[in-house]
Amino acid sequence: MRRSFTLCSVVFHAIAISAALIAQVLAVGALPIPHQPVIFDAAGIMPVEIHVPPPPRRPASTAPTSTSPDTAPIVPPEGVLPDSVRGGAAEPSTNGVIGVVDGGPVSLIDGIGIAPAAPPPPPERAPAPARLPSGIRSPVKTVDIAPVYPVMARNAHIQGTVILEAVLDATGRVDDVRVLRSIQLLDQAAIDAVRQWRYTPTLLNGRAVPIVLTVTVSFRLE
């Protein structure tokens, strides 16, 4: 009983839906008119001329303008005398003439020329140290300091002669020392000793000059 009722219900709904679809297909009539969109037509705008009234004119003020007390005066005040009358700075004398004497500017005051002070001469450069030329007497050593034998060289039984090049200034003091023949463990001891030596000044044409001197320092084991 329940199955037959369900089957009848399905058939009835199918017939109703089919009838509705067929009725829509067979229906004949005029189609609706679509809405026309609103189009802005710029050509149809009417120009409108707008008259702007001129700005109102302000009436000219006849009242005198007030002057600030800080404003500088344009006209000199009455009763003020010129500087020449008040005893100020006098005008330059016609006798004072600026001229050139001997290629340099001078100031002529009342006919008397005053030349500017000459600049000081440049300081004289000391001559560079050079080796003694032939015929010049070698300086005499006035202070002789013996070198200190290094302990390491003494223990290693190292001995010999170190040759050095000493630069003496005009007073005979040793300025610089350079090793010409080296013994590695004895070089520093020889340099320290030579730096303490002093010599008599070396004269060249009656003038003390710096020189370069070759010296030797000997190390001998007893």
Tell me, letter by letter, the H, E, C secondary structure of 80-103. CCCCCCCCCCCCCCCCCEEEEECC
Residue at 67 is within a domain: no
For residue 140, being part of any structural domain is answered with yes
Question: Is 137 contained in some domain?
Answer: yes
The pLDDT value given to residue 97? 47
Q: Is residue 147 part of a domain?
A: yes
Contact between 130 and 137 under an 8 Å Cβ cutoff? The reply is no
Q: For 175, left (φ over 0), alpha (ψ -120 to 50), or beta?
A: alpha
Among 198, 197, 201, smallest CA distance to 136 is for: 201
Look at residue 122 in the predicted model and tell me its pLDDT: 74
**CATH code assigned at 142:** 3.30.2420.10
Q: Maximum distance among all alpha carbons in the chain? A: 160
- Decide if 191 is inside a domain: yes
pLDDT reported for residue 186: 95
On whether residue 99 sits in a domain, the answer given is no
pLDDT of residue 171: 92
Task: Determine the pLDDT at residue 14.
Answer: 85
Task: Say what the pTM is.
Answer: 0.44
The secondary structure of residue 30, as a DSSP letter, is P
- Please report the pLDDT score of residue 48 as a whole number: 66
b/e per residue 47-61 (b: at least 16 CB within 10 A): eeeeeeeeeeeeeee
Per-residue pLDDT, 54:
80
Q: Is residue 158 domain-resident?
A: yes
Domain ranges, residue 190: 133-219
Is 41 part of any domain? Answer: no
Q: What gap in Å lies between CA 97 and CA 163, rounded to an integer?
A: 71
For the chain, 222 residues long, give each residue's pLDDT as a single digit of tens.
667 778 788 888 888 888 877 877 776 666 667 666 655 555 556 666 777 778 777 766 555 555 666 666 676 667 666 665 555 545 555 454 444 445 554 454 445 556 667 788 777 676 778 887 777 788 999 999 999 999 999 999 999 999 999 999 999 999 999 999 999 999 999 999 999 999 999 888 888 889 999 999 999 987
Q: How many domains does the chain have?
A: 1
